[in-house]
Amino acid sequence: MSISSTAKIAKTAIIEGEVTIGENVIIEDYVVIKGNVIIQDGSYIYNHVTIRGNTHIGKNNTIFPNAVLGTM
């Protein structure tokens, strides 16, 4: 797991696995990230998002509430 020191992650977020989180990423409440996930710089993950499996989110992307990305 690699998380940038400039990332802002809610205390209620669950992060497990080989996760890489870039600079200035914001992860809101109740986000679940599990698996081989890369979130690049400047991305914003809104509340109640689930990201699983082999998922790569590029720079400056916005993932809106309740979205599910990757394989379950």
Q: What would the two tokens of residue 7 be?
A: 């990332």
Q: What would the two tokens of residue 45 be?
A: 């993950």
**Is the pLDDT reported for residue 72 higher than 80?**
no
Q: What is the band of 23 on the pLDDT scale with cuts at 50, 70, 90?
A: very high
The parent domain of residue 21 ranges over: 2-69
**Is the pLDDT reported for residue 71 higher than 90?**
no
Q: How many separate domains does the chain show?
A: 1
Q: Name the nearest CA neighbour of 68 among 42, 40, 41, 35.
A: 35
pTM for the full predicted model: 0.95
Instruction: Please tell me the total number of residues recorded for the chain in this structure.
Output: 72
Q: Name the nearest CA neighbour of 54 among 70, 32, 30.
A: 70
pLDDT in tens, 27-70: 999 999 999 999 999 999 999 999 999 999 999 999 999 999 99
SS3 21: strand
The Cα 15–Cα 34 span in angstroms is 6
User: Tokens 């509430």 belong to which residue?
Assistant: 65
